């Protein structure tokens, strides 16, 4: 069940970004230990909310306007399955496609990497390695 929750490091950054929603899990900050039970909003410095990944995607959509899509790719030639993701910026019909050189072995790895990139976009931590159809996109490096 732990794979459904974001990492401790992601939870710390989301708290900085203002995430404070009721969650099914929480971390003891000093121990970095995940506890799963319904919790209220964080009111203590010793407790850190541990949201489900789905809650985080909803929060980024509702608070910051970013929508995401995780996708599966199956290769018939060798039977491999890989995962990747798209991020749709606010007020745009275009999507940012994560660099296809960075495919992920599991759905959960792709979700976690997507959350990392959403954090970078909201924090404004430079550009992200995306394939983007817009040469003037402020979110990524333009690649054709």
Residue 111 reports pLDDT greater than 90: yes
Residue 109 has what pLDDT? 94
Each residue's pLDDT tens digit, 123-132: 887 555 555 5
pLDDT interval class at 96 (50, 70, 90): low
Residue 136 has what pLDDT? 59
Residue 116 has what pLDDT? 92
Domain ranges for the chain: 2-52, 65-131
> CA–CA separation, 18 vs 78, rounded Å?
44
As to burial, measured by CB atoms within 10 angstroms (0-12 exposed, 13-18 middle, 19+ buried), residue 100 is: exposed
Query: Which strands, in side-by-side order, build the sheet including 67-74?
Result: 67-74, 81-88, 96-98, 130-131
Residue 24 has what pLDDT? 86
Residue 85 reports pLDDT greater than 60: yes
Q: Give this prediction's pTM.
A: 0.80
Q: Hey, CA dihedral for 72, 57, 10, 53, is it positive or negative? A: negative
Mean residue pLDDT of the chain comes to 80
Instruction: Determine the average pLDDT of the residues in 79-94.
Output: 82
> CA–CA separation, 11 vs 49, rounded Å?
7
Each residue's pLDDT tens digit, 48-63: 889 999 999 999 999 9
| 27: number of Cβ within 10 Å | 21
């Amino acid at each position: 069940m732990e794979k459904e929750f974001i990492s401790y490091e992601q939870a710390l950054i989301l708290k900085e970004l203002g995430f404070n929603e009721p969650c099914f899990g929480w971390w003891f900050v000093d121990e970095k230990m995940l506890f799963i039970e319904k919790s209220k909003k964080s009111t203590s410095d010793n407790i850190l909310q541990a949201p489900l990944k789905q809650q985080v995607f909803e929060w980024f959509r509702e608070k910051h306007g970013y929508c995401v899509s995780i996708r599966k790719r199956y290769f018939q030639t060798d039977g491999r399955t890989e995962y990747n993701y798209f991020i749709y910026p606010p007020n745009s019909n275009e999507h940012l496609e994560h660099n296809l050189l960075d495919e992920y072995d599991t759905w959960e790895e792709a979700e976690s990497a997507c959350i990392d990139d959403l954090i970078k976009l909201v924090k404004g931590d430079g550009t992200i390695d995306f394939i983007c159809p817009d040469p003037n996109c402020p979110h990524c490096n333009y690649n054709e």
